[in-house]
Chains A and B, each alone.
Chain A
Amino acid sequence: TTDNQNHPPIFELKAELNSDKKEKKKEAVKKVIASMTVGKDVSALFPDVVNCMQTDNLELKKLVYLYLMNYAKSQPDMAIMAVNTFVKDCEDPNPLIRALAVRTMGCIRVDKITEYLCEPLRKCLKDEDPYVRKTAAVCVAKLHDINAQLVEDQGFLDTLKDLISDSNPMVVANAVAALSEIAESHPNSNLLDLNPQTINKLLTALNECTEWGQIFILDCLANYTPRDDRESQSICERVTPRLSHANSAVVLSAVKVLMKFMEMLPKDLDYYGTLLKKLAPPLVTLLSAEPELQYVALRNINLIVQRRPEILKHEMKVFFVKYNDPIYVKLEKLDIMIRLASQANIAQVLAELKEYATEVDVDFVRKAVRAIGRCAIKVEQSAERCVSTLLDLIQTKVNYVVQEAIVVIKDIFRKYPNKYESVIATLCENLDSLDEPEARAAMIWIVGEYAERIDNADELLESFLEGFHDESTQVQLQLLTAIVKLFLKKPTETQELVQQVLSLATQDSDNPDLRDRGYIYWRLLSTDPVAAKEVVLAEKPLISEETDLIEPTLLEELICHIGTLASVYHKPPSAFVEGSRGVQHKRIPGNLGSGESVESPDNGSAAGVTEAPPAVIPSQGDLLGDLLNLDLTPPTTTGPPPISSGMQMGAMDLLGGGLDSLVGLRHNTERSFRSPSPPDYSPTEVGPGGHMGAGFGAPPAVMPASFNAPVSVGLDDLFDLGGGVGMPMGAFNPPKTVWLPAMKAKGLEISGTFVRRAGVIQMEMNLTNKAMSVMTDFAIQFNRNSFGLASAGPLQILTPLSPNQSIEAALPLSTVGPVMKMEPLNNLQVAVKNNIDVFYFSCQYPISMLFVEDGKMERQVFLATWKDIPNDNESQFQIKDCHLNSDAASNKLQSSNIFTIAKRTVEGQDMLYQSMKLTNGIWVLAELRVQAGNPNYTTILKSKQRITSLIIIHTVSERPFCTNWNLICYIL
């Protein structure tokens, strides 16, 4: 057969390889490589192939080398056979052979032979031919990857540094690349101690080396921090010509250097303005590159527009979507259009968005409709036009368009109260067609909020109540709140309705958040209706214009990573690169100008954290004292002062009855009531401290009387689980629970849990076939969710699942999927498909899965951050009946990536200062107080990002996090 001709059996090849004839030998090696290429295992021929190595035929030599690279690792003992030839080839008169040998050597990743390669490498690093030197420079990085110690001991790093001064630009570029690579994995090695002299050398080489070399050099320059604004300007001046390079990657790397160094220039400098003007044209030109490069450019422009909106403010038109743009380009352009929308261009933008909203691509259309809403909120003058455009779109009756429109109209109502309510009637007409939770929830919110203007509000809400238990949590919570609002507005005719919803929420629901909220309302309504009215119908703060800005410190870090994957994902490298723990976060140094005032507040705070001079931040020891002085006061006074006595009474009343955790809870309750919701969030999520949630199991009939009993029982249970039984050390992995009962999924039962192992989140599932027929073709998919969890591969169930059979499946998850705020925050909606049908279920993952391995904050940063965080961002909890001492608790928490930064003991009370970091880069700080002999811990949680990041608002001030904090406490 032809296959046999191309890929003959091993024994035949063996004979041919040992042939005396050169030509035959070469053909045989070619056949071996051909077999290797199609994936056949030809490692058995190792000695025979290596025997062909000593040849003066260059092509044959290259083939043998190729073979060696592929199989040396599987035959380490025999790889030694090749050493002699390498040594010899490194001294060949032909530089092509010398370079080939040194290049291949480094690719033989066998530890045993590396030490034999040091001498040849040393010679090649000093070779007279630059081609050999540039290859040897890279070889140092290769060797370092295999045996770092050896490379250091041999002094190769110094030789590599010397090569930065080489006369040949290509050698310089490769030396820079190799050093950067090594420095990346050894952040403290101080390898790239860039100083003005080396910078000057690099800038000179920049003019002469290949396009790729220019990228290496620019990426390296981006790590440098100039001494002053003059140096900064001079580097910028020498980098700017690169913006005219034909290679998009050179342009983006130059943009990175300029964006970073620009921060150090005084803003009133003429040159600053010149530079800003120079950046726009090349960024626009990137949009004519190949689509993948356009995509990278657009993701970066998205960052640049957030950091320096003035650069592209006049370039709206270039972001208009073309019919033949790939979908990923379309979606990114749309995002940038919204960011650039202003009063000056809004008419054009709206015309475009309306055009897009009638396209056919569902995701794109949805985003376009949402964009119209965002324009309304951002540009007040356009609000009316936006609303009428949305109404036109609702008239199209295209289902998903209507639903998106209703979701955004709700936000418009929140931004401009008492202005557009006349459209409510039109919205109500579409009530029946809403089948998505977000749209249903939005509509219910509207009905509740404007109940007094909607004659049949009670009927409308009642119609939702019928299928209460089939609704998603988001809808249930909204429905509960809406009906309570309705009751407070029209008490006479809706008493029955409110009774009904309260009983549904408290009695029949498994969801602690829903139950809690139900009880709160119940208590409020029964104790003090006037207070209830003040709380529930309180005036809501307006929502802010920009809802999805990247948090400033993350944005700064991402600016330093322009052009890289981090800038594409909009995530810090530590969120997706393994082993990057301890790697320093890149930061933009503050303005270095002489005596210039720092302009924007974010600029200032950044400078404070990173560049703060010693005068401001004292030595570390003092720091900690400082830190602790902040909070030495007893917990009762850490909360904000009560705001109105009436309110406080209400809250106290509500919680009366001897709750142990009264103090902590009261603070939370007050805070939630006082600012009913964060600015960009619907106003109804009023909720108290979450740790009570799990405890509220009592039937409502006896609720007021025995309120406290079930609570403590519940909490005891909760903490017994971890503390009593004694979980093994290691990260916290909750037990599997049933997610999808067989009844609901035609016989398929799924139970599962989430684990985090070696930095990878996994969903571990048990699939059981309780039906009569075989199940096959499994597939899984997630809905968008708060943290962008997505399956990182297909669901691996290869064999059919027979009746009564069970199978375990582990699905690795990434956190780079599409993000959408969920309620509760950690809710994950999953669709599982098999040959029978598609099934949907939701499950909740413990937030602790999202704590990344490099969540240990530096002490100084911790202090600065802790101080920075306003009290409003604080939540306090108690963890009860935990019998570990503080060190054991700290260890246990560390295995779940909750790191203790500092510990201090005051009057027998241990205080642990802890940090954790979520996969989306958000930091959460904690103070854990452990009193010897007292099994109840107190925890205070803080997080900096409150206003700008949608998610953290939930994380900190909303119940779900609290619930999750309890989950974390299982670990104890």
Chain B
Amino acid sequence: MSSSAIFVLDLKGKVLICRNYKGDVDMAEIDHFFPLLMQHEEDGLLCPVLSRGNVHFMWIKHSNLYLVSTTNKNSNASLVYSFLYKLVEVFTEYFKELEEESIQDNFVVVYELLDELMDFGFPQTTDSKILQEYITQEGAKLEVGKSKVPTTVTNAVSWRSEGIKYKKNEVFIDVIESINVLVNANGSVMSSDIVGSIKLKTMLSGMPELRLGLNDRVLFALTGRDKGKTVVMEDVKFHQCVRLSRFDIDRTISFIPPDGESELMSYRINTHVKPLIWIESVIEKFSHSRVEIMVKAKGQFKKQSVANNVEVRVPVPSDADSPKFKTSTGNAKYVPEKNMVVWTIKSFPGGKEFLMRAHFGLPSVENNELEGKPPITVKFEIPYFTVSGIQVRYMKIIEKSGYQALPWVRYITQSGDYQLRSNV
């Protein structure tokens, strides 16, 4: 159905560890993967699926590793990629960093995990918090009789174990909105949207039932309430703890949360947003002599708010040299390995406008290679504020022991994929 075998390869294509799940594809086929990949890369035809004869390789790359799944069937490709990314997530939670060294140092646990995560090509339990209850790095401690399958594994609630205890019961809610913007070279906004994410840090005892209330327009319409500002969420995605059918019926977000940190939900809002930091740029290239850059950044948000750690990244030709900068605030730096100027402004109040000028020399003999036209990108963070106006109206926490628990909410808006095309 999905994977015949899973391989972890190093950057040279050597197999570090593998697991044969089905035995219907010769394990030696993996030797063809790397040459095939190189060939495709050379031809500029890189693709996440490669095939040779009847064998298909689906692969992803993570740090200095390739994770490859082989099959000779009509596999569910989206399941395979989802699973490969899940592998990365689980291994990372086990070993902090997932890289060649951590695989080699922990091969016993990696084998155990591969055995537990997938059976005959079917993904099984992949929740690392639950896995850590019965597969640990100190295997010696697990003597027979003591180690048991947590009932959680097969429960309908497969993400939270019973018997969790906290002295102080609290939930921390982070509402994070990322702004994606694509602006054309002539300054018109081609597309913009908001991707929001609600993250939880749950420190609650027992099996609490939670209900989250948002100022969701559809919910307000359903319940006939029409007070205050509401938000239209174009699409919502939930952690598997949320009862999807319940949400489908009456827009109630009800769930038993996983313990500790998790992403409860994400949403997408399509409304046209004014780019919070607006960039105007003039980049003039005088062939064989110099490049002159003028960038104006303007904070298009409320005066009371402040954007932190603002970075404006302006591309420059790869053969530029001898940089000179002038800024009205902040600090500009040339990063030659990335062919860009990074202008950093630690604190950028709303409504303000700042300027940066840069001057580069160009060699008299020009670089023949055609260069792409990378866009200007911007990074920032604005605390205590969401662009969409989304609000957590309440978080109800009910546990049968009847304890009182406090929810804490924090809002933050940040840049997502924030690109302004330049004309040079």
**Which residues of chain A have C-beta atoms less than 8 A from B111's C-beta?**
33, 62-63, 66
Is there a chain B Cβ closer than 8 Å to A573's Cβ?
A: yes
How far does the Cβ of B123 sit from chain A's closest Cβ, in whole Å?
4
Residue of A nearest to B33 (CB): A793
Digitize A519-558: 1 where CB-to-B-CB distance is under 8 Å, 0 elsewhere.
0000000000000000000000000000000000000000
Is there a chain A Cβ closer than 8 Å to B230's Cβ?
A: no
Contact in complex: B81, A565 (CB < 8 Å): no
Contact in complex: A814, B51 (CB < 8 Å): yes
Contact in complex: B245, A241 (CB < 8 Å): yes
CA distance A528 to B78 in the complex (A): 62
Contact in complex: B268, A281 (CB < 8 Å): yes
CA distance A106 to B85 in the complex (A): 27
From the candidates A30, A177, A296, name the one contacting B122 in the complex (CB within 8 A): A177
Is there a chain A Cβ closer than 8 Å to B45's Cβ?
A: yes
Contact in complex: B73, A577 (CB < 8 Å): yes
**Which residues of chain A have C-beta atoms less than 8 A from B370's C-beta?**
360
From the candidates A240, A242, A296, A573, name the one contacting B78 in the complex (CB within 8 A): A296
Known: A56-B143, A59-B140. A34 touches B78 (CB 8 A): no
Of A209-217, A374-382, A415-423, A908-916, the one with at least 4 CB within 8 A of chain B: A209-217
CA distance A56 to B144 in the complex (A): 6
CA distance A418 to B358 in the complex (A): 52
How far does the Cβ of B129 sit from chain A's closest Cβ, in whole Å?
14
Residues 74-92 of B at the A interface (beta carbon under 8 Å)? 74-79, 81-85
Contact in complex: A103, B119 (CB < 8 Å): yes
Is there a chain A Cβ closer than 8 Å to B191's Cβ?
A: yes
How far does the Cβ of A315 sit from chain B's closest Cβ, in whole Å?
9
Number of interface residues of B (CB under 8 A): 98
**Which residues of chain B have C-beta atoms less than 8 A from A95's C-beta?**
148-149
Contact in complex: A322, B417 (CB < 8 Å): yes
CA distance A96 to B146 in the complex (A): 11
Contact in complex: A106, B81 (CB < 8 Å): no
Is there a chain B Cβ closer than 8 Å to A351's Cβ?
A: yes
Known: A96-B149, A131-B149, A181-B1. A566 touches B372 (CB 8 A): no
CA distance A297 to B81 in the complex (A): 11
Residue of A nearest to B136 (CB): A59
Contact in complex: B239, A99 (CB < 8 Å): no
Of B35-43, B280-288, B325-333, B379-387, the one with at least 4 CB within 8 A of chain A: B35-43
Contact in complex: B54, A240 (CB < 8 Å): no
Is there a chain B Cβ closer than 8 Å to A827's Cβ?
A: no
**Which residues of chain B have C-beta atoms less than 8 A from A178's C-beta?**
120, 122
Is there a chain A Cβ closer than 8 Å to B388's Cβ?
A: no
Known: A359-B372, A565-B56, A577-B73. A320 touches B182 (CB 8 A): yes
Is there a chain B Cβ closer than 8 Å to A447's Cβ?
A: no
From the candidates A240, A358, A794, name the one contacting B35 in the complex (CB within 8 A): A794
Is there a chain B Cβ closer than 8 Å to A576's Cβ?
A: yes
Contact in complex: B244, A245 (CB < 8 Å): yes
**Which residues of chain B have C-beta atoms less than 8 A from A323's C-beta?**
372-375, 419, 421
Contact in complex: A248, B82 (CB < 8 Å): yes
Is there a chain A Cβ closer than 8 Å to B125's Cβ?
A: yes
Of A166-174, A602-610, A612-620, the one with at least 4 CB within 8 A of chain B: A166-174
**Which residues of chain B have C-beta atoms less than 8 A from A322's C-beta?**
182, 417, 419
CA distance A70 to B111 in the complex (A): 12
**Which residues of chain A have C-beta atoms less than 8 A from B45's C-beta?**
327, 363, 818
Is there a chain A Cβ closer than 8 Å to B406's Cβ?
A: no
Of A285-293, A690-698, A873-881, the one with at least 4 CB within 8 A of chain B: A285-293
**Which residues of chain B have C-beta atoms less than 8 A from A290's C-beta?**
60, 81, 85
CA distance A820 to B205 in the complex (A): 62
Is there a chain A Cβ closer than 8 Å to B278's Cβ?
A: no
Of B16-24, B220-228, B298-306, B346-354, the one with at least 4 CB within 8 A of chain A: B16-24
**Which residues of chain A have C-beta atoms less than 8 A from B263's C-beta?**
246
How far does the Cβ of B189 sit from chain A's closest Cβ, in whole Å?
10
Known: A129-B149, A246-B238, A253-B76. A138 touches B122 (CB 8 A): yes
Residues 88-105 of A at the B interface (beta carbon under 8 Å)? 94-97, 99, 103
Residues 57-113 of B at the A interface (beta carbon under 8 Å)? 58, 60, 71-79, 81-85, 107-108, 111-112
Is there a chain A Cβ closer than 8 Å to B240's Cβ?
A: yes
Contact in complex: A360, B240 (CB < 8 Å): no
Is there a chain A Cβ closer than 8 Å to B158's Cβ?
A: yes
How far does the Cβ of B231 sit from chain A's closest Cβ, in whole Å?
15
CA distance A352 to B147 in the complex (A): 60
From the candidates A56, A238, A241, A351, name the one contacting B184 in the complex (CB within 8 A): A351
Residue of A nearest to B189 (CB): A317
Contact in complex: B46, A328 (CB < 8 Å): yes
CA distance A290 to B124 in the complex (A): 21
From the candidates B43, B75, B124, name the one contacting A212 in the complex (CB within 8 A): B124
Known: A33-B111, A241-B245, A760-B53. A281 touches B234 (CB 8 A): yes
How far does the Cβ of A52 sit from chain B's closest Cβ, in whole Å?
14
CA distance A168 to B155 in the complex (A): 7
Contact in complex: B134, A317 (CB < 8 Å): no
Known: A63-B108, A565-B49. A246 touches B237 (CB 8 A): yes
The size bracket of the interface on A is: 35 or more
Is there a chain B Cβ closer than 8 Å to A10's Cβ?
A: no
Contact in complex: B76, A320 (CB < 8 Å): no
How far does the Cβ of A564 sit from chain B's closest Cβ, in whole Å?
5
Contact in complex: A94, B148 (CB < 8 Å): yes
Contact in complex: A318, B191 (CB < 8 Å): yes
Residues 391-414 of B at the A interface (beta carbon under 8 Å)? none
Is there a chain A Cβ closer than 8 Å to B355's Cβ?
A: no
Contact in complex: B72, A292 (CB < 8 Å): no
Known: A131-B154, A328-B46. A138 touches B120 (CB 8 A): yes
Is there a chain B Cβ closer than 8 Å to A667's Cβ?
A: no
CA distance A281 to B139 in the complex (A): 45
Residue of B nearest to A790 (CB): B51
Known: A253-B76, A361-B372, A564-B76. A96 touches B190 (CB 8 A): no
Contact in complex: B82, A249 (CB < 8 Å): yes
Is there a chain A Cβ closer than 8 Å to B219's Cβ?
A: no
Is there a chain B Cβ closer than 8 Å to A812's Cβ?
A: yes
Interface centre among A58, A328, A576 (most CB of B within 10 A): A58
Residue of A nearest to B55 (CB): A792
**Which residues of chain B have C-beta atoms less than 8 A from A348's C-beta?**
190
Contact in complex: A134, B417 (CB < 8 Å): no
CA distance A352 to B186 in the complex (A): 12
CA distance A719 to B240 in the complex (A): 67
Contact in complex: A326, B46 (CB < 8 Å): yes
Is there a chain A Cβ closer than 8 Å to B365's Cβ?
A: no
Residues 155-185 of A at the B interface (beta carbon under 8 Å)? 168-171, 174, 177-178, 180-181, 184
Residue of A nearest to B371 (CB): A360
Contact in complex: A760, B54 (CB < 8 Å): yes
Contact in complex: A285, B247 (CB < 8 Å): no
Residues of chain A having any CB pair with chain B under 8 Å: 30, 33-34, 37, 39, 56-59, 62-63, 66, 69-70, 94-97, 99, 103, 106-107, 109, 129-131, 134-135, 138, 141-142, 145, 168-171, 174, 177-178, 180-181, 184, 207-212, 215-216, 219, 238, 240-242, 244-249, 252-253, 281-282, 284-285, 288, 290-293, 295-297, 317-318, 320, 322-324, 326-328, 348, 351-352, 355, 358-363, 561, 563-569, 573, 576-578, 580, 759-760, 781, 792-794, 812, 814, 816, 818
- What are 24 residue pairs bridging A and B, where the CB atoms are less than 8 Å apart in the complex? A56-B144, A59-B142, A66-B115, A131-B149, A168-B154, A171-B154, A174-B119, A178-B122, A180-B1, A238-B245, A241-B247, A242-B244, A247-B240, A249-B82, A288-B268, A291-B48, A296-B48, A296-B77, A327-B44, A361-B372, A573-B74, A576-B74, A792-B52, A793-B35
Residues of chain B having any CB pair with chain A under 8 Å: 1, 15-17, 20, 22-24, 32, 35-36, 39, 43-49, 51-54, 56, 58, 60, 71-79, 81-85, 107-108, 111-112, 115, 119-126, 134, 139-140, 142-145, 147-149, 153-154, 156, 158, 182, 184-185, 190-191, 195, 234-240, 243-245, 247-248, 263, 265-266, 268, 370-375, 417, 419, 421
4 additional contacts, CB 8 Å, given A181-B121, A759-B54? A219-B1, A281-B268, A568-B49, A793-B32
